[in-house]
Amino acid sequence: MTSMHDSPRIPVESAAPRMEALARLPVFFALHGKRVLVAGGSAAAAWKVELLAAAGADVEVYAGEMSEDMLAVAAAAPPAGSVKLHHEHWTAGVLDGCALAIGAFETDAEARQFQGAAQVAGVPSNVVDKPDYCDFSFGAIVNRSPLVVAISTDGAAPVFAQAIRSRIEAMLPAGFARWAEAARNWRSALKQTDLSFNGRRLFWQLFTRAALQNPNGEPSRADFDALLDETKPQAGAADQGSVTLVGAGPGDPELLTLRAVRALQSADVILYDDLVSKEVLDFARREARRMLVGKTGHGPSCKQSEINALMVGLARSGRRVVRLKGGDPMIFGRAGEEIDACRQAGIAFEVVPGVTAAQGAAGRLGLSLTHRSAARRVQYVTGHGEKGALPDDIDWRSIADPGATTVVYMPKKTLRQFTDRALAAGLDPATPALAIANATRPDEEVVAASIGALADAVLPDGPTIVMIGSVCGAATNPVHSRASGNPESGSPLSRGRADRDSARIR
Ligand code: SAH
């Protein structure tokens, strides 16, 4: 008979998250050498003329009357494109061959007529400040050309959009324009090298690092050569792919490291465990393939050998594989076996540490795992040995040590056996203990009891650790982080007597 634990599970590929509803589609029009009509001669129209000419358009302005601003814009030589004033009212004929048509009118009737004519001519149109007569809108712009950022609130909050624009302005150094321009100039030179696709991608990663490190620098041919020299020796490895073992932390995505986020954002494939929270997976690059390879401790899971083979196979075919594991990969995460598999296959690997469940829980509970006088030692043990039973080689005298804090991972199935053995080895049954489920997640729950009573307590669902030691008596209700959306002030943990000496804290 096959138990649940042994039944095989094949890796399941999960779909990338679907695109949420989009209020507007941002598109970036190439206007160089294209005719654009502006109907109206007001100051508002003049600003649009300036914008369109800056984007390279040949702007034709039609208006019976031209404002001072319009005359000034036409008189100044634009940085690109051209401006031509026609001192007459627009007609349907002038729409012919225009890429875009912009109108600035007082009345709705004029606006309606303009939009109608543009539609007949098949030209997308916009009437300034009359959203009902627009096929498209202009966003708030941050200009680091060729790098351009545009912001829209779908007309809901233009002032808000402007405020966001200022923030992005402050975030993007002016020198990014030079880097983006350099990228444009270097693109074809890079294509002429013998670098493969992955090698060129590596070049652009190094380029990005250089731009971020020296945003106001003046990228030159020497920088191009230096980046190329740096890329070439690593390009072979880039072709071979790699494995990055990434700690996803206990659940709260704010506990991810910066390096973990970077790895998730450059992954081609992510092999993840059940324990990884959805919020963490949301940090992954949209195009990355996501594959659930299981490993909950109970229930069906992929065989470790299959996970190893899949991981190595994907890396061999040139993929950047992220092996994403709950908590820290090096704590009860079978990282050792996966690292061995990479070493044997000659695959480059890297490990990104994560916050382990014990650390996450300790942080939430305001509980120091060590204490200068009362807890000089911390030990992590598993309640779940290789065959699912309590491991038979636990050093029970260490567990009974009153000066130790013990954290039991995967404690649930063997908790009574565990406590019986520990008490038999001399652990004081009055020692404070905690069972913490879903630590750092919105559904976090804590049960407090003496270790003598914990096995009788009803433990919550979800991944759980048990902490034993005098420090557990000092646990407080945590101050909920805003991430969990449940602001609550810290208060001392109360220890219930009624429920068989255990207290469910949350
Ligand atoms: N590498 C992980 C541990 C993997 S073993 C880490 O460093 O945390 C799986 C066990 O970890 C679970 O059975 C449970 O005991 C514990 N665990 C993982 N996440 C947890 C969480 N958010 N809350 C409580 N326990 C958790």
157 part of a folded domain: no
Atom of ligand 1 nearest to the CA of 440: 22
| Number of domains forming the structure of the chain | 4
- Determine if ligand 1 sits within 6 Å of the CB of residue 295: no
pLDDT of res. 504: 61
Expressed in angstroms and rounded, the spacing between residue 473 Cα and the centre of ligand 1 is 22
pLDDT tens digits along 39-68: 999 999 999 999 999 999 999 999 999 999
Q: For 409-426, give the DSSP string.
A: ES-GGGHHHHHHHHHHTT
Residues 324, 258 share a domain: yes
pLDDT of res. 195: 92
Q: Which of 378, 365, 366 is nearest to 446 (CA)?
A: 365
Residues 454, 340 share a domain: no
Residues 371, 492 share a domain: yes
DSSP state of 192: T
- Determine if ligand 1 sits within 6 Å of the CB of residue 331: yes
Rounded CA separation 375/215 (Å): 49
Q: Assess contact for 244 and 350: CB atoms under 8 A.
A: yes
438 part of a folded domain: yes
Q: Assess contact for 442 and 462: CB atoms under 8 A.
A: no
Task: List the single range of 27-41, 223-237, 395-409 with lowest mean pLDDT.
Answer: 223-237
Expressed in angstroms and rounded, the spacing between residue 445 Cα and the centre of ligand 1 is 14
What is the pTM for the complete model shown? 0.69
Residues 413, 382 share a domain: yes
- Determine if ligand 1 sits within 6 Å of the CB of residue 410: yes
Give the end of a domain, one of 240, 265, 293: 240
pLDDT of res. 295: 54
- The single-letter code of the amino acid at 147 is L
Residues 471, 423 share a domain: yes
Q: What's the whole-number mean pLDDT along residues 428-442?
A: 97
Residues 487, 365 share a domain: yes
| Local confidence band at 27 (pLDDT 50, 70, 90 cut-offs) | very high
Residues 390, 259 share a domain: no
**Nearest residue (CA) to ligand 1, atom 6:** 327
Tell me, what CATH number does 343's domain have? 3.40.1010.10
Residues 398, 334 share a domain: no
| Local confidence band at 493 (pLDDT 50, 70, 90 cut-offs) | very low
Residues 106, 55 share a domain: yes
Expressed in angstroms and rounded, the spacing between residue 265 Cα and the centre of ligand 1 is 24
pLDDT of res. 14: 75
Expressed in angstroms and rounded, the spacing between residue 326 Cα and the centre of ligand 1 is 7
pLDDT of res. 387: 80
411 part of a folded domain: yes
151 part of a folded domain: no
Q: What's the whole-number mean pLDDT along residues 492-496?
A: 35
Rounded CA separation 31/29 (Å): 6
Expressed in angstroms and rounded, the spacing between residue 219 Cα and the centre of ligand 1 is 47
Q: Assess contact for 410 and 382: CB atoms under 8 A.
A: yes
Residues 430, 342 share a domain: no
Residue of 245, 246, 409, 459 to test ligand 1 pocket, by largest number of atoms within 8 Å of CB: 409
Pairs from 277-282 (Cβ < 8 Å, separation ≥ 24): 277/248, 277/251, 277/252, 277/253, 277/441, 279/251, 279/252, 279/253, 280/248, 280/249, 280/251, 280/253, 280/256, 280/324, 281/324, 282/17, 282/253
Catalytic residue IDs: 273, 295
Say if residue 8's pLDDT is above 70. Answer: no
**Nearest residue (CA) to ligand 1, atom 2:** 327
| Local confidence band at 18 (pLDDT 50, 70, 90 cut-offs) | confident
Rounded CA separation 165/152 (Å): 10
475 part of a folded domain: yes
Tell me, what CATH number does 429's domain have? 3.30.950.10
pLDDT tens digits along 290-302: 999 975 545 566 7
Residue of 99 and 304 predicted with greater confidence: 99
Q: For 85-97, give the DSSP string.
A: EE-S---GGGGTT
451 part of a folded domain: yes
- Determine if ligand 1 sits within 6 Å of the CB of residue 328: yes
Q: Assess contact for 139 and 150: CB atoms under 8 A.
A: yes
Give the end of a domain, one of 301, 320, 349: 349
Residues 365, 497 share a domain: yes
- The single-letter code of the amino acid at 335 is A
Say how many residues make up the chain: 506
Tell me how crowded residue 476 is: count the other CB atoms within 10 A of its CB: 14
Residues 236, 249 share a domain: no
- Determine if ligand 1 sits within 6 Å of the CB of residue 383: no
330 part of a folded domain: yes
Note down the domain range covering 232: 176-240
- Determine if ligand 1 sits within 6 Å of the CB of residue 467: no
170 part of a folded domain: no
Tokens of 184: 């444009």
Q: Assess contact for 363 and 438: CB atoms under 8 A.
A: no
Give the end of a domain, one of 108, 138, 168: 138
The torsion region of residue 81 among left (phi > 0), alpha (psi -120 to 50) and beta comes to left
Rounded CA separation 422/468 (Å): 11
Q: Which of 294, 291, 290 is nearest to 274 (CA)?
A: 294
Query: What does pLDDT average to over the chain?
Result: 89
Residue of 246, 275, 352, 461 to test ligand 1 pocket, by largest number of atoms within 8 Å of CB: 275
Expressed in angstroms and rounded, the spacing between residue 438 Cα and the centre of ligand 1 is 8
Atom of ligand 1 nearest to the CA of 250: 22
pLDDT tens digits along 452-473: 999 999 999 999 999 999 999 9
- Determine if ligand 1 sits within 6 Å of the CB of residue 359: no
